[in-house]
């Protein structure tokens, strides 16, 4: 019987919900178990691991290095996720364990098993020892999740999540200790236990070192002063200062100078140079950037904490926090609330540069920041997680709501929520959320500007919206979202394509990875639309040809097609579309064929336009989008077939403005003006709030089509005044107005409507 003791990384894996699976479908569960073995064994071998044994639905394996263990876990999870019919929990811990024959024993094995139990489904959790060992592995990303007391493990364990392809980042848990019963004996026992746990944490982080004292971003946390005259509450000061220290070190917001370190140094200095006061000690020896000081007292049966952050010389207060109140039997409740306020300050306001940005920890991106006073740290973490998940609308909104619920005074998540519903076309909800924010109370200048922007844009006052957003742009022109929004307002709301180039160039695009940049494609789109309007066709083609090979979205192809058509490069256009058709879905092809045909109509190339419309019509029995087929008939002037198609579409969407307008025009062109009038009346009856001139725009299309250009211009002016947008298919780009778009009236009254108000 061989027995060896050595350091190893132990990995536990477990199939989520195995017992219930076995109860519901035993045969399928056994198949999953076999599949799980086939996934695990080759991957464990690949990363130099040892398959120890199977425990029902779980697997135990050991590895000589933590990087091999973590890399194996990542590959196992990714492979398992691809299977899609079950999920795993994985836990990893490194410790000295005993190997005996084909088994492994020791506390390290028990800890790994408990970490696996604590892991969320589909996740990999690791201990702090594992995390420390892989912190220099750039390809492995981890983040702190929580500190938890694991079953049969003496000390609380700090648990980290390993991030991998397809994993969802878990929001760090903030554990608030529950109130103890109001019995003095239990209360003071609880205090001693809390202090023991806190001092155990701090023991590892506050070792005295002259070298460490000389580093940057030092924060001195002084023990809170007891002004209650109640000696039994002396420990409250230690709880408050140590809990704050724990939060700062846990979230890596600075190097902490603890009360213990200050006291130790005071003793040394007294023995060498005589007595010295605290101010000189901090100023001459520790030289902290900030000092956190506080006092506590009792009032009306409540425990109250007051706290300030001062600069390193203790002669200027940077911020004073509102007094925190709690039950004297639960001082950690007070400490937790105060910690949240302090961490919020250190994470946000204190990190801004002169232009109001906050850099991320890798200094790769900057985020605009709106707050006058710091939010709760927990609320701020929810916001950051929301912004990281903005491509998942459901999760994004859920996290914004959690941020708002956690700190009702936090402005930024409310602003993002207004923007979310606006971008979804839910204008009424967006406006109601705007009205919930009291613009007359405690808003700073920046917040007032952004609220004025949403008020203006929701009322169709595009000139006011542009001016308000330009104020925000001045403060945050390098923030990707702010920059892109300014481009959008300038181009599509006030028709100022000449402004776009300067805004676009504020953020150099050369070093950005397009696949990882959610806003990059739309910035190129807006810049290219502006260049089309300015006649810079070759620039558009040169820019977008390589980009559309990386970002294949149809919207990016629209300015490229416009540039091909307007520059007369028809053969290059045909080749581009022919290459695209080799791999594109039929619906995407029809959409682009239709858009291309419209560009030729706008350029008075009717024969070329019909060529593209005919390509759609030739597939009328197989096309996936009947709207493209209806549009092909319509712009070919085949109003009989167009009417049939649009009436069918109208039956499934009775309030679609485009369908109603084109039915009315088709009836008129087919000689049935009475029926056309019926649909125009129906269109007028659809008028309601937050349409931004859409009804008047549709009516102008109708009157332009029947030859009443004066009426069309009158209605177009009403539409633009209500906020109807300039897009690649509206106003000067709309075939309905091709006979009047070059007239002085159209240019002055329509195209320059907002320019005249924003110059």
pLDDT tens-digit readout, 493-534 = 999 999 999 999 988 887 677 777 778 899 999 999 999 999
pLDDT at 743 over 80: yes
Who wins on pLDDT, 638 or 519? 638
pLDDT band at 315 (very low <50, low <70, confident <90, very high): low
The reported pLDDT for the residue numbered 132 is 82
Whole-number pLDDT of residue 153 = 73
Average pLDDT over residues 687-704: 96
Whole-angstrom distance between the N-terminal and C-terminal Cα of the chain? 89
Question: Residues near 682 by Cβ (< 8 Å), separated by ≥ 6?
Answer: 660
Q: Is 560 exposed, middle or buried (0-12, 13-18, 19+ CB in 10 A)?
A: buried
C-beta of residue 642 within 8 angstroms of C-beta of residue 617: no
743: CB partners within 8 A, 6+ apart: none
Q: Taking a C-beta distance cutoff of 8 angstroms, is the pair 531, 524 a contact?
A: no
Buried (b) or exposed (e) across 519-540, using 16+ Cβ within 10 A? ebbbbbbbbbbbbbbeebbebb
Mean pLDDT for 207-215 is 34
Dihedral angle computed from the Cα positions of residues 474, 479, 480 and 486, in that order, rounded to the nearest 10 degrees: -20
- Residue 267 — very low, low, confident or very high, per pLDDT cuts 50/70/90? low
> Is residue 185's pLDDT more than 60?
no
Q: What is the mean pLDDT of residues 585-607?
A: 91
Q: What is the 3-state secondary structure (H, E, C) of 554-622?
A: HHHHHHHHHHHHHCCCHHHHHHHHHHHHCCCCHHHHHHHHHHHHHHHHHCCCHHHHHHHHHHHHCCCCC
Indicate if the alpha-carbon torsion angle 322, 326, 331, 334 is positive or negative.
Answer: negative
Element (H, E) at 541: helix 537-547
Question: Does residue 490 contact residue 462 with C-beta atoms inside 8 Å?
Answer: no
Q: How far is CA 568 from CA 561, 574, 591, 603, 663, in A?
A: 11, 12, 21, 10, 33
d(CA 200, CA 669): 85
Q: How confident is the model at residue 211 (pLDDT cuts 50, 70, 90)?
A: very low
Strand partners, 309: 292, 319
Q: Is 315 exposed, middle or buried (0-12, 13-18, 19+ CB in 10 A)?
A: exposed
Round the average pLDDT of the chain to a whole number and report it: 82
Task: Say which residue, 215 or 429, is predicted with more confidence.
Answer: 429
Provide the 3-class DSSP secondary structure of residue 634. helix
Pairing of strands 302-311, 124-127: unpaired
For the stretch 318-327, pLDDT in tens is 888 888 888 8
Domains 3-163 and 512-758 share a fold: no
* Residues constituting the chain: 759
Whether 712 contacts 703, CB under 8 Å: yes
Continuous segment of H or E residues that includes residue 143: strand 141-148
Q: Where are the domains of the chain?
A: 3-163, 184-347, 356-507, 512-758
User: Looking at the domain that runs over 512-758, which CATH code has it been given?
Assistant: 1.25.40
Q: 94 by DSSP, 3-state: which? A: strand
pLDDT, tens digit, for every residue of 18-73? 656 665 666 777 788 888 888 999 999 999 999 988 876 789 999 999 999 999 99
- Percent of residues, the chain, with pLDDT higher than 90: 41
Q: Which fold has domain 3-163?
A: Alpha-Beta Plaits (3.30.70)
Q: How far apart are CA 738 and CA 604, in angstroms?
A: 8
Is the overall model pTM greater than 0.85, yes or no?
Answer: no
| CB neighbour list of residue 211: distance below 8 Å, 6 or more residues apart | none
User: What is the pLDDT, as a whole number, of residue 196?
Assistant: 37
* Sequence-ordered list of residues with C-beta below 8 angstroms from that of 93, at least 6 positions apart, any chain: 9, 10, 108, 111, 112, 115, 126, 127, 129, 130
**Mean of pLDDT values over 626-644:** 94
The residue among 360 and 9 whose pLDDT is bigger is 9
294 close to 242: Cβ distance less than 8 angstroms: no
CB neighbours (10 Å) of residue 109?
21
Q: What is the mean pLDDT of residues 640-666?
A: 94
Q: Which has the higher per-residue pLDDT, 18 or 144?
A: 144
Q: What is the mean pLDDT of residues 431-455?
A: 80
Statement: residue 710 has pLDDT above 80: yes
Instruction: Check whether 665 has a pLDDT greater than 90.
Output: yes
Higher pLDDT, 566 or 209: 566
Percent of the chain exceeding pLDDT 70 equals: 84
- Residue 275: its pLDDT value, please? 47
Three-state DSSP class for 503?
helix
Q: Name which residue leads in pLDDT, 193 or 652.
A: 652
Class of domain 356-507: mainly alpha
Q: DSSP for 355-410, please give it.
A: TSEEE-TTSS-EEE---SSPPPHHHHHHHHHHHHTTTSHHHHHHHHHHHHHH-TT-
Q: What angle (nearest 5°) sits at the alpha carbon of residue 200, between those of residues 194 and 205?
A: 125
- Residue for token pair 């910035």: 523
CATH architecture of 184-347: 3-Layer(aba) Sandwich (3.40)
* More confident call, 313 vs 468: 468
């Amino acid at each position: 019987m061989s027995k060896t003791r050595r350091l190893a990384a132990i990995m536990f894996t477990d199939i989520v919900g195995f017992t219930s699976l076995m109860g519901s479908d035993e045969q399928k569960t056994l198949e999953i178990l076999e599949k799980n073995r086939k996934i695990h064994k080759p991957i464990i071998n690949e990363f130099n691991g040892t398959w120890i044994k199977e425990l029902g639905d779980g697997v135990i394996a050991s590895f000589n290095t933590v990087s091999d263990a973590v890399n194996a876990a990542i590959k196992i999870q990714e492979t398992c996720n691809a299977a899609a019919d079950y999920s795993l929990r994985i836990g990893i811990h490194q410790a000295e364990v005993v190997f005996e024959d084909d088994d492994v024993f020791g506390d390290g094995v028990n800890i790994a098993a408990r970490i696996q139990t604590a892991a969320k489904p589909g996740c990999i959790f690791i201990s702090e020892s594992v995390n420390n060992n892989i912190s220099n592995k750039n390809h492995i990303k981890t983040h702190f999740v929580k500190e938890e007391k694991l079953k049969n493990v003496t000390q609380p364990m700090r648990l980290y999540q390993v991030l991998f392809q397809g994993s969802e980042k878990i929001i760090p848990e903030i554990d608030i200790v529950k109130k103890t019963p109001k019995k003095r004996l239990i209360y003071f026992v609880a205090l001693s236990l809390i202090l023991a746990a806190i001092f155990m944490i701090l023991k590892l982080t506050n070792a005295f070192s002259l070298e460490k004292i000389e580093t940057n971003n030092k924060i001195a946390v002084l023990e809170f002063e007891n002004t209650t005259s109640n000696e039994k509450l002396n420990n409250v000061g230690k709880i408050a200062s140590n809990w704050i220290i724990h939060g700062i070190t846990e979230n890596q917001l600075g190097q902490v100078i603890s009360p213990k370190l200050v006291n130790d140094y005071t003793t040394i200095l007294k023995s060498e140079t005589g007595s010295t006061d605290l101010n000189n000690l901090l100023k001459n020896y520790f030289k902290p950037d900030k000092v956190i000081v506080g006092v506590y007292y009792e009032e009306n049966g409540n425990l109250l904490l007051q706290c300030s952050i001062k600069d390193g010389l203790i002669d200027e207060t940077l911020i004073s926090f509102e007094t925190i109140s709690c039950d004297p039997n639960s001082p950690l409740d007070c400490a937790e609330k105060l910690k949240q306020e302090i961490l919020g300050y250190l994470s946000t306001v204190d990190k801004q540069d002169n232009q109001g940005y906050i850099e991320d920890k890798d200094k790769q991106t900057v985020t605009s920041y709106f707050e006058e006073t710091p939010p709760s740290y927990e609320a701020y973490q929810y916001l950051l997680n929301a912004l990281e998940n903005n491509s998942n609308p459901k999760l994004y909104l859920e996290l914004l709501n959690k941020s708002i619920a956690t700190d009702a005074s936090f402005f930024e998540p409310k602003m993002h929520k207004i923007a979310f519903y606006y971008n979804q076309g839910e204008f009424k909800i967006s406006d109601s959320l705007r009205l919930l924010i009291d613009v007359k109370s405690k808003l700073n200048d920046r917040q007032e500007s952004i609220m004025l922007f949403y008020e203006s844009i929701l009322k169709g006052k595009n000139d006011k919206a542009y001016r308000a957003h330009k104020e925000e742009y001045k403060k945050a022109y390098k923030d990707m979202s702010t920059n892109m929004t300014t481009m959008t307002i300038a181009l599509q709301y006030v028709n100022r394509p000449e402004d776009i180039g300067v805004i676009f160039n504020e953020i150099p695009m050369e070093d950005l990875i397009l696949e990882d940049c959610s806003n990059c494609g739309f910035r190129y789109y807006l810049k290219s639309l502006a260049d089309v309007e300015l006649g810079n066709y070759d620039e558009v083609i040169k820019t977008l040809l390589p980009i559309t090979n990386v970002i294949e979205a149809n919207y990016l192809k629209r300015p490229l097609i416009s540039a091909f058509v307007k520059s007369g490069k028809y053969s290059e256009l045909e080749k581009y579309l022919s290459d695209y058709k080799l791999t594109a879905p039929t619906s995407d092809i029809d959409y682009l064929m239709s858009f291309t045909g419209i560009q030729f109509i706008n350029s008075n190339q009717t024969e070329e336009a019909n060529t593209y419309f005919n390509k759609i019509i030739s597939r009328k029995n197989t096309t996936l989008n009947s709207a493209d087929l209806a549009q092909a008939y319509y712009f070919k002037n085949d109003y009989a077939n167009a009417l049939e198609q649009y009436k069918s579409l109208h039956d499934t969407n009775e309030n679609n403005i485009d369908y109603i307008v084109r039915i009315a025009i088709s009836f008129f062109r087919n000689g049935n003006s009475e029926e056309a009038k019926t649909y125009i009346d129906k269109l007028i009856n659809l008028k309601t709030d937050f349409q931004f001139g859409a009804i008047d725009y549709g009516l102008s299309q109708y009157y332009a089509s029947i030859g009443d250009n004066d009426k069309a211009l009158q209605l177009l002016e009403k539409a633009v005044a209500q906020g109807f947008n300039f897009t690649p298919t509206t106003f000067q780009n709309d075939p309905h107005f091709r006979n009047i778009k070059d007239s002085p009236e159209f240019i002055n009254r329509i195209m320059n409507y907002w320019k005249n108000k924003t110059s």
